[in-house]
Chains A and B, each alone.
Chain A
């Protein structure tokens, strides 16, 4: 269900991008460049600059920006860097898989990119068991990324157990936020 919603969102994002790309290539590219200062978006920004400097090649530039927009939708998925887990569980939830696939695709396409997969647990249960649980969660993410194209050398696993909560409250909502793996890019 959530998966379908995500695909729909992806589709909408792409079609919205197409519409705006048709109306004004330069604007869209500039927008992408200014709001998303990541490695992928900087390519889009370059494309935009080309569009401005050479109007004659507008058609070719438009084609490039289409590709850039598709990449941008991927980039939206890449923005998702935190993946959540159930209590005492280290299996991936369905709703994070598309984003993880996007990360895997990015890593496969960018051999020099490196990430740290940081595993965490909520405060319930014991400190050392939670340290191990955080590591297992990060390992699950590692396996999934590798199955989808990332290389072992790009992925480093570390667990902080229950020591670095994202939310400091002591309730179910905070615990849900704390049972997580964070994908942290060290280089792009």
Chain B
């Protein structure tokens, strides 16, 4: 038993070291919910001769902990390590003040692996649900995230986003190398999408998650490109004279809102991707930029300096009527709407500092979400509307950080080298 325990511990330890060495970004939770649910994720049983390709149970534990909705018990504090229902002694977990226990087994199949797990309610002393997931060795991280999503949805009622992806730009301090990267939402499995000696900004996802759009300065000025993730195929979409930037796909994926500056005056345009027909949406001598579609596709919210400093406005596409949305503070920019359309998050200047704020669309109430980080920018909302990822400055470097839309959960995704900027959270990927 002791040997077995040590073996398990070794597996966990080796797994942890390997994931740190490969992951560019590593999640550190800085603030969880007051009401975080206590859960014990018991290391899964493993019958193989050598260590499993992925430590599935610790990936699940990390996922649940990083969400802030769960307080995950360290394995070292566990009195027992059941892997079968018959081994569970509920009073043990009750004494450890756990609400739920997740146990499971991983077995080898001719074609890959199977992971079977149970979620147990400690107070009711019952199994809440069980599930079995299969995958190849290369898919075990996906299997782990799938289980995390499953558990998260069952226990919180909110869709999990552990199987989603991030794209972001990394750059050196001198700003002479720019990488557009793709990684799991927990920062693992980073892959390079596009590299340039010139700036890359404003990456964004198509609604089906198959394509990304971004702005590249590779030809000496800002132009918009599409890139298909599976093939790496690139397409230049907007390279009109002047500047082309701030791409945003319509919710149905048929149109692209972007900023085009004719004669140095940035306005918002919409490009029909099938017909390539262009329509000018705003016409104002001030800066109009950072368009984002409303969920119904009938209007755009955007940043404009028409009142002097940057404020957020909404324009109805049918009649081009413009309505101002933000009134608090002298700098409000880069709005992003939650999927339910009830809130928007944006960059808000408070005193000398820039923070991420949310505003209730109906009531107009503003809530500043971040305070620990500096120079916050580029907020992007998770597809379940619960979290916002953004770029911030910390100790002379740019890192990614995340905050829940209610401000209760916070985590950081620092990188080991260079600056990380411009994150974009993927839609739910099928």
Q: Which residues of A contact B (CB under 8 A)?
A: 88, 123-129, 131-133, 135-136, 138-139, 142, 157-161, 163-165, 168-170
Count, chain B residues at interface, CB 8 A: 41
In the assembled complex, 23 residue pairs joining A and B whose CB atoms fall closer than 8 Å, in A order, are A88-B309, A125-B331, A126-B290, A126-B334, A126-B347, A127-B201, A127-B421, A128-B201, A128-B246, A131-B245, A132-B259, A132-B261, A132-B266, A136-B287, A139-B263, A142-B264, A159-B243, A160-B217, A161-B201, A163-B217, A164-B175, A164-B199, A168-B173
- In the complex, the chain B residue whose C-beta lies closest to that of A131 is B245
- In the complex, the chain A residue whose C-beta lies closest to that of B200 is A163
B221 contacts chain A at the CB level, 8 A cutoff: yes
Given contacts A129-B287, A170-B396, contact A135 B261 (CB under 8 A): yes
Report the separation of the CA atoms of residues A170 and B395 in the bound assembly, to the nearest whole angstrom.
9
Q: Mark B170-198, 1 if CB is under 8 A from A, else 0.
A: 00011100000000000000000000000
Q: Which residues of B contact A128 (CB under 8 A)?
A: 201-202, 245-246, 259, 289-290, 303, 334
Least Cβ–Cβ distance between A140 and chain B, in angstroms? 9
Q: Which residues of A contact B305 (CB under 8 A)?
A: 129, 132
A158 touching B220 by the CB < 8 A rule? yes
Given contacts A139-B264, A163-B217, contact A168 B174 (CB under 8 A): yes
Interface residues of B in 221-271 (CB under 8 A from A): 221-222, 242-243, 245-246, 259, 261, 263-266
Q: Which of A88, A126, A135 contacts B266 (CB 8 A)?
A: A135
- In the complex, the chain B residue whose C-beta lies closest to that of A161 is B201
Report the separation of the CA atoms of residues A96 and B46 in the bound assembly, to the nearest whole angstrom.
72
Given contacts A88-B331, A133-B287, A161-B201, contact A125 B349 (CB under 8 A): yes
Report the separation of the CA atoms of residues A131 and B422 in the bound assembly, to the nearest whole angstrom.
14
Q: Which residues of B contact A (CB under 8 A)?
A: 173-175, 199, 201-202, 217, 220-222, 242-243, 245-246, 259, 261, 263-266, 287, 289-290, 303, 305, 309-310, 331, 333-334, 347, 349, 354, 374-375, 377-378, 393, 396, 421-422
Q: Which residues of A contact B174 (CB under 8 A)?
A: 168
B310 touching A129 by the CB < 8 A rule? yes
A126 touching B173 by the CB < 8 A rule? no
Q: Which of B175, B289, B378 contacts A163 (CB 8 A)?
A: B175
Extra contacts, 17 of them, besides A128-B303, A129-B334, A138-B264 (Cβ < 8 A), are: A88-B310, A124-B375, A125-B331, A125-B333, A125-B377, A126-B290, A127-B201, A127-B334, A127-B421, A128-B289, A131-B243, A131-B289, A132-B266, A132-B289, A158-B220, A159-B221, A168-B173
- In the complex, the chain A residue whose C-beta lies closest to that of B263 is A139
Q: How many A-B residue pairs have CB under 8 A?
A: 98
A131 touching B375 by the CB < 8 A rule? no
Q: Which residues of A contact B334 (CB under 8 A)?
A: 126-129
- In the complex, the chain A residue whose C-beta lies closest to that of B421 is A127
A129 touching B375 by the CB < 8 A rule? no
Least Cβ–Cβ distance between A69 and chain B, in angstroms? 37
Q: Which residues of B contact A161 (CB under 8 A)?
A: 199, 201
Q: Which of B175, B222, B264 contacts A136 (CB 8 A)?
A: B264
Q: Which residues of B contact A138 (CB under 8 A)?
A: 264
Q: Which residues of B contact A165 (CB under 8 A)?
A: 175
Given contacts A163-B175, A165-B175, contact A127 B221 (CB under 8 A): no
Q: Which of B175, B243, B261, B290 contacts A129 (CB 8 A)?
A: B290
- In the complex, the chain B residue whose C-beta lies closest to that of A163 is B199
Least Cβ–Cβ distance between B277 and chain A, in angstroms? 24
Q: Which residues of A contact B173 (CB under 8 A)?
A: 168
Least Cβ–Cβ distance between B119 and chain A, in angstroms? 42
B303 touching A129 by the CB < 8 A rule? yes
Least Cβ–Cβ distance between B420 and chain A, in angstroms? 13
Q: Which of A124, A157, A159 contacts B354 (CB 8 A)?
A: A124
Q: Which residues of B contact A164 (CB under 8 A)?
A: 175, 199
- In the complex, the chain A residue whose C-beta lies closest to that of B396 is A170
Q: Which residues of A contact B246 (CB under 8 A)?
A: 128
Q: Which residues of A contact B245 (CB under 8 A)?
A: 128, 131
Report the separation of the CA atoms of residues A129 and B348 in the bound assembly, to the nearest whole angstrom.
13
B347 touching A125 by the CB < 8 A rule? yes
- In the complex, the chain B residue whose C-beta lies closest to that of A159 is B243
Given contacts A127-B377, A131-B243, contact A159 B259 (CB under 8 A): no
Report the separation of the CA atoms of residues A128 and B287 in the bound assembly, to the nearest whole angstrom.
10
